[in-house]
A and B are shown apart, each in its own frame.
Chain A
């Protein structure tokens, strides 16, 4: 097979292609037009682009074919859509770009977009966000639901998009670059707690898949595998991918948040006490 066919989508989705083009387009235009002092450095730009392209890659290249017909590749796909891609995007701190476009919006557009803000604030309640984060993984891996999702093209697309959007929401909550000391972003302690809390159910689910004797996800057996591989091996690898990397990412996340908390320790304290003293 020629190399180009590996880069072309297995199941072409115009809406997906358009969304990615819009995201990269808006990001690029903002970079060019924003004032020099706000512009993210090249490291951040590369991180953002890498995160976006990783997600695009698992959705619209040959990778998607293997994800549909191999359980462990499917787990890898969700690892990128729900964890790695959104983590990179959130860490790249695209806040200046979002601010740029927010300022460019007309007043009426901002008015009409208000409900989006409300929904966002509800979804970013720490309890709801972590419940959604873990709940979606459990929901789509619930064997009967998983079976239907792999059989129906619509459900399959809903599954992948819901994982990506939820991943972005959750990791943005965790890596929100605004300091909780001076904004209403989530406190660092709570962020660490959330990361630890969401890791546990993922580890339980992964371990359960790994140690299951029977076939938990027979849809890959029913629908044929991309290449002949023993079903037990496929399930074992898929279980490990559900179990270990997400737990590791939680730990890395905790370390990153800790480092930021230590850097900021005392930094905003003086200002606040000054303000308190004035009052």
Chain B
């Protein structure tokens, strides 16, 4: 009986070269479709999440992928659908993150992000108003000792000229990965938008965080690109564990000791040219 999704235990050349060609094709096809779906999602990340009636503060991508060991994760915080006629006068946001997965460079450990790690976007000053922003402040999360908070705020100086409406970038944040593999979610723990009036009214809004996948490099053949062969290299090993003879941890993308669908996805997410082989 032929399995629809055969369990592959490597090395098994007979299996790979034997009378299972048709089955293998099915597997290939399935992963190609999965990969294409993921690619389509990546290519068009504008996450309809931002398309709501209220203003929305969100990250440009709903998930980012990166590699362990000090690799940069450059994120963009964006505002959409700000229709308050008085315009946006000021904002504060706090991003909650797990310091085991990522950090924000703070070389002197003073709780202030190093220069260039958190920078203002162009939206707030887009009408010509002078803008003053804080540093990126790294504070403990009093509600969860395992997390940290990045606080960033900008204000416009004076009430004139008019403040911007619509949408655009509020800030750019450069995280740096730690050595841990896996998935982590970065969320906004609190955000405030203020209109441009002397009374300073808060503007209701929604927020969306993002998922960060920290994975090993999927360019197994070191040819400068993650392609179907790389994806298949992982797929062939589906179900293998560290207890199996011939276990190769290189393909265990999330480092959990078993080749799972997550490992295949993590490889597929990297589809295309990548320099990761050079530093992982």
Do chains A and B interact in one complex?
Answer: no
Residues of B within 8 A of A (CB): none
